[in-house]
Every structure is written in C-alpha cells, then in structure tokens.
Amino acid sequence: MKKQKLFCILVAALAAVMLLTACGNGVADTPVVAADAVTDGNVTAPEGSGSERTFVDVVDFYGNVVTVVQNPTTVAIFDFGILDMLYNIGFENTGIETLIVPTMSTLPDSLAWFRDGGDENTTVVTGGTLFYIDWDILDFVNPELVVLGVRSFGMNAAEERLSPDAALEFQHDTFARYQNTAFMWLTIDARNANLTRDMRANAYSLAQIFPGIGELLFSEIEEIEAEFAAIREVTTASGMEAAFIMMLDPATMTVFLDNSRFGFLFDEFGFAPLTLDLEAWTDQHGFAIQSEFLLENNPDVIFLLDRTDPDTGLGAATDNFMNDAIIQRTNAFINGHIYSGLPMPDWYTIVGGFGSARRMIQDVNRFVDHFLESAKN
C-alpha cells in the first residue's frame, strides 16, 4: 500500500509540476577541497519543538559542517559508493522509508535491490541521474537529507554537460529551493583517490546520521583495511611497477598512474608506479597511449579495464590487447601479470562502497596468488 500511495502521489505531482513555483533566499558555500579528517558531531535537540528528533553537525567530504536530523526516513542518495556501503551492511538497518536514487533502470547488478524498487519497508524512486538532481521528484518527496556525489550538478535535464559556472548556479538554485533539506557531499576523490581514508570518513559521517549502524560500518572498514594491508605487504616487497590501462574501445586505450582516480592501485594496494614525469600524469580521465608506450616503459604488472562490456570488463578490446605483438614483448605479458576482467562498476562507478572494495581486493589477489606461487618455484 505504501508503494502504491507514493506512486499515485508522484504521478499527480508530475502532472501538476508546471503550475508550481518555488522560492528561496539562501545558498550554501561551494565546496572546493576535501577534508582530511572528520570531527565529532554536535548533537542537539530542536528548541521548543516538543519533538524527540535530534540534529547532529556532520563534516562532509569537502569540509562543510552540515546540520542533519538523525535517523532521517526520507533520503536521496546520488553516489553509488554510498548506496553500496549501506546495502552491504543491511539497508534495512538505516530505517529509511523513502529513498531517491539516480536512474534506477541503469543501476549495476550489485545494486539491483535499489533497481528493483526496494521492499515493503523502503520505497525506492528515481530522482535524476548521477549528474542531474530532478527538482520534480524532490518537490513532492521532500527529502530530509540529500547525499551528493562528485558528479552531482554536472548536467542538465537534457543530459548536456554544464560549464563550471552553470553547474555552480544549478547547485545554488537547488540549495535555495530546498532550505529545509540538508545537502551534503559524501563521496571519494575522483582525481587523486585516497580510498580507505575517504571510505572511513564517509562511514563516520553516516554513523553520526544513523547511530544504529556505526558498529556495522566500522567493522566492514576495519576488515577491508586489513585486507588492503595484507596485499600491500606482498606488492611492496615485490617491487613491481604497475600500470592501469582502460580500453575505451577496441582501438583506443588510456593509461592511469598515481595521482589519478586509480591512484589507490599504488597508494592503497602498494604497487610501484612507472617512473615518469608525474607532473604530466594527473588527468582523471587518463592519457591516450599506443602499444609502443607500454613496451618502452615496460611495466611488470598491468591491470586492464575493458569498457566493451562494462559488467565483465572483457571484450574485443581485451582480445586485441593480448594479441598485440608489441604487448607480448612486455614483462607483464611474458610473466603472466596482465589482469583483465575488471568489472567497470566496481572499479569506476561504485568506488567507495564495501562491495566494490571487496571485488577490487579479489582482483588484486589474483596477482598476489600468482606472485607467491611463482616465488615457491
């Protein structure tokens, strides 16, 4: 009944939305840098309200202090990593009754629970995309909390990429329109990933907002950090230089090193980056290369993400890469240290969640197992 009622409200709302006008006179500061640490939240009760609800001051990803009602029941989440994190500790433990997510139909299989609309306790609806916050849905669901991701406000309703000024205007207009809603960024750094630090900070913020899940969140974080450390011990001792390659299509590939969105391969998993002019290797989308580049710099290990089939990380691009006579002369190929089949959702779009971190651990452990086995012989 709850879902049917909400569906009827949304249908009626969308039909009437053009008749409504929203107003507001306050905007939030634009975040510019990520916070290196979080602080204890200041918990208060609303004065004179007679309500039992309490509010807490939470430091978000960019260092903004946001006042949030504890245990909100109506929430929007526009970051896949946060959805993954909450799903893997049992979403039912949050007490959220109505959830807005980006484009349900395109959610990856690991987030199928949200794609399928939740369950009898939680109704899940679409309220835009990772890049676009849909005012029509926010108007009528009226969430108490909106969790933003690094891509939020990047596009308009027509899926056209916005200029920095237009994106900032969209953000300010949204904050002004919903002055009774708490907006906060909980995400990871997509330009220079510091994965476990950002995950721990996000978990801390979520534990302040939903006190009942704190123990679950930190138990997961500690297990993941321990597994990262175990891998790092082997990779650091190996001294092997690695490169992360993304195949955009069968004819194009880009390389990512440290100081990039895949920097955690080096900082967290412990591989040594190729020795290059690092000043030139900071683009978050990677740099286009040819096979000759890899032979010239000759990495010992290559991790290969093939976008031909994002779900499996395999396809025609991988076949072309492995059959390339130049690639076959690299140390990585000769010693069997090219690791393909990396699912794009876990390595690219859901980074920052517990499920995605465990899949990355599983993939990197393929190297660990191979290396340790080779060391015995």
The model's pLDDT over 274-292, given as tens digits with 9 standing for 90+, comes to 877 645 555 566 788 899 9
Query: What does the radius of gyration of the chain's CA atoms come to, in whole angstroms?
Result: 22
DSSP H or E stretch at residue 125 = strand 123-126
Coil, strand, or helix at residue 159? coil
Q: What percent of the chain has pLDDT over 70?
A: 84
Distance between CA atoms of residues 172 and 153, nearest Å: 10
Confidence (pLDDT) at 68? 97
For the chain, what is the mean pLDDT?
85
Q: Looking up tokens 């175990």, which residue turns up?
A: 230
Amino acid letter at 343? P
Confidence (pLDDT) at 258? 81
Mean pLDDT of 294-315: 91
Distance between CA atoms of residues 127 and 91, nearest Å: 19
Q: Which residue has the higher pLDDT, 365 or 41?
A: 365
Q: pLDDT at residue 293 above 60?
A: yes
Mean pLDDT of 187-203: 87
Closest by CA to 53, choosing from 41, 71, 75, is: 71
Distance between CA atoms of residues 88 and 355, nearest Å: 7
User: What is the DSSP secondary structure assignment for residue 142, as one 8-state letter?
Assistant: -
Distance between CA atoms of residues 326 and 321, nearest Å: 9
Q: pLDDT at residue 348 above 60?
A: yes
Show the DSSP H helices in 45-133 as ranges: 80-88, 112-115
CB 217 within 8 A of CB 87: no
Give the model's confidence band at 51: pLDDT under 50 very low, under 70 low, under 90 confident, else very high.
low
Confidence (pLDDT) at 249? 75
User: What is the DSSP secondary structure assignment for residue 349, as one 8-state letter?
Assistant: I
Q: For the chain, how many residues are written?
A: 377
- Say if strands 301-306 and 241-249 run parallel, antiparallel, or are unpaired: parallel
Rounded to two decimals, what is the model's pTM? 0.85
Distance between CA atoms of residues 169 and 167, nearest Å: 5
Give the model's confidence band at 24: pLDDT under 50 very low, under 70 low, under 90 confident, else very high.
very low
DSSP H or E stretch at residue 59 = strand 55-59
> 47: which residues sit within 8 A by CB, 6+ positions away?
none
